[in-house]
Amino acid sequence: MRIYTSCIIDATEELNASISGLEGASVYNIPYNDIGIVSSDLSGKVVTDENTVMTHEKVIETLMEKYTVLPMRFHTVFRKEENVILMMQRLYDEFKINLQRLCGKVEIGLKVLWNGKEVKARIIEGMNGDGSIRQTNGASPGRNLLEEKLIEYRVDNAFEHEADRNIEGINNMLNGYIADRSYKRLQTENLLLDAAYLVEKERIAHFREIFGKIRTTYCDFRYLLSGPWPPFSFVNIEKHDYSCPQYFFFDTQQDIKRYGG
């Protein structure tokens, strides 16, 4: 029987609620020192489909109502309970630090979209107006090419500057309401901001309130606000190189091949 792990919690007690994990199996807590890892027995292979991912999330969300949770990445499976305990033993300090840092907090997701093409068009219009873009009619093809590249470079720079300015504005409005943030900017031309914010549970309403103001202030943008989520984006566990042959940490597909996966 293999062990499917859902999350680390800040408690050693048995779980009161009846929670079903993958394959409909009951989840239970495996205690280690003063923390625990919520797991369930797994008889077959995990099918990586929509339902199993949703079940993984649902288990963690249910536990999040009562405990501080460190969500495990989907599909973290161990051959036997001894290996789970070994992992807990080796990472206990890091789990503990993370649990303390994330106590009473949740993650809220925010995606902000703008119309990248329109923003670039406005930038080019502005550059034409102030003479930043010079006409090169009659110049040699080489000169024209260089000018085009230079214009492209300037437009891209201005575009990124505009993105940074807006992101800074949004983040500044949220600053007093969050404990931490993690974000990526311009993953695509239109995806201005893809952010996760760590928010104290008691401040979720305040966060939503200030989000309403952001929508008003930046009314040309479109938004996707989601959550509260377990704090997936704020778990900070360093990867370790274990020499124990029964316990490997794989970083890449190359590592998996090297160790015979």
Partner 1 sequence: MISKTRDITLLEILDRALNKGVVISGDIVISVADVDLVYLGLKVLLSSVETMEKLRGAPFAEAG
- The sign of the dihedral angle between the CA atoms of 224, 228, 234, 237 is negative
- The candidate with the shortest Cα–Cα distance to 167, out of 87, 239, 112, 237, is 112
- Tell the smallest beta-carbon distance from residue 111 to partner 1 (Å): 6
- The two structure tokens encoding residue 1: 């029987």
Which spans of this chain sit near partner 1 (rule: CB under 8 A)?
Answer: 2, 5, 7-8, 45-46, 48, 50, 53-54, 56-57, 70-79, 83, 87, 91, 95, 107, 109, 111, 113, 187-188, 190-191, 194, 222-227, 229-230, 232-233, 235, 237, 239, 246-250, 253, 256, 259-261
**Closer of 8 and 139 to partner 1 (Cβ):** 8
- Tell the smallest beta-carbon distance from residue 162 to partner 1 (Å): 19
**Closer of 89 and 128 to partner 1 (Cβ):** 89
**Closer of 74 and 183 to partner 1 (Cβ):** 74
**Closer of 111 and 122 to partner 1 (Cβ):** 111
DSSP letter, residue 26: B
Cα of 161 vs its chain's centroid, Å: 24
SS (H, E, C) 196-230: EEEEEHHHHHHHHHHHHHHHHHCCCCEEEEEEEEC
- Tell the smallest beta-carbon distance from residue 49 to partner 1 (Å): 9
DSSP letter, residue 237: -
- Tell the smallest beta-carbon distance from residue 60 to partner 1 (Å): 8
- Tell the smallest beta-carbon distance from residue 7 to partner 1 (Å): 8
Dihedrals phi, psi of 256, to nearest 5 degrees: -65, -40
**Closer of 143 and 258 to partner 1 (Cβ):** 258
139 contact partners, CB below 8 Å, separation of at least 6: 147
